[in-house]
Amino acid sequence: MRIRIGYDIELGLQPPTAVVFLLQVHPDRAQDLLAVDTPRLEPPLMRDGYTDAFGNRCVRVRVPEGVTRLALHARALVNDSGLPDPVPADAPAWPVDRLPPETLAFLLPSRYCEVDSELMAFAWQRFGALPAGWPRVQAVCDFVHAHLRFDYQCAQPTRSARGAFHERVGVCRDFTHLALTLCRCLNIPARYVTGYLGDIGVPPAHHPMDFSAWFEVWLGGRWYSVDARHNRPRIGRIVIARGRDAADVPITMVFGEHQLLRFDVVTELEAP
C-alpha cells in the first residue's frame, strides 16, 4: 500500500537566526519513498543538510535580517507493507554483558528519562517477577497505557518520565518517555522514535493529525517498535528520527524568539 505524508508548518521569527529541523523520512525508509520529501521553504533561504549522531537527516536554515516568517512544506508518497507491528512474544532480553555496544547508550538516563532510584525501584518491584523479554515490555506498556490519561490540553514541553509518572497525564511523548524509561530500568535498551502514524486500520481520531512518538526496544538481537499510548500493533509507522528522548529529535528548533503560526500534518492511505 501507499501512504501520503507531508506537512505545512509556519514560524514567526525574530531574525537573524537559524532553524534546524528533522522532518525528512529516516534513511532506513528512503528506499520506500516514491516521491521525495525534500522540504520546500518559503522564502527559499540558504540551507545545509547533515546527519546527526543518531543517523537522522537534519537541515539547518539560515534566516537573515528582514525575514520574519518561514514556511516549511512537503508532500511525499511512501510504499508500506501494510502489515501491523510484529509482536515477538518469545523475544528474550539479552544480559547487559552481551548487548551490542551501540545499544548501551539506550540504557542510560537522558534529559527526559530518569533511570534513577525511584523509577528503578518501582520497575523491579512491579515487573521484576515477569519473564525477561517481551512479557516485561508488554507489561510496561499495559501499565503506562492505563496509568496515564491522554490530553492535548495538558501537554508540557518540560515534563519528564518522572513527571508523567506522578501527574498521570500527558501526550504521546509522555507515554513514550515513561514506558521507555521503565524498560531501561529493567536493563532493556529502549530508544525514542518520532514519525508519521496515520489512522490506518483503526477508527479515525477526533483530533487533528500530528507527528507521533513511540519507542523501540532491543530484544532477541533486533529492535522492535512499541507504543504505550495506543498499546496495540499499528499499521503504517514511518520513522523520521530516533534518539535517547525527545530532546534528540526536535521537529523544529529555532535559535531565537519565535512563534508557531501553522502546524498541519498529513498521514493518509492513498486511494487505490
- 17: phi then psi, degrees, rounded to nearest 5: -160, -175
Burial class (CB in 10 A: 0-12, 13-18, 19+), 128: exposed
Residue 35 is predicted with a pLDDT of 81
Residue type, 87: V
Q: Return mean pLDDT, the chain.
A: 95
Question: Residue type at 263?
Answer: F
Residues 32-45 pLDDT 10s:
999 888 899 999 99
Give the phi and the psi of residue 153 in degrees, each rounded to 5: -70, -15
pLDDT digits (tens, 9 = 90+) for 66-91: 999 999 999 999 999 999 999 999 99
Task: Specify the pTM.
Answer: 0.96
Residue type, 104: L
- In this structure, are residues 172 and 154 in contact, taking their beta carbons and an 8 Å threshold? no
Weakly modelled stretches of the chain, pLDDT under 70: none
Per-residue pLDDT at 205: 81
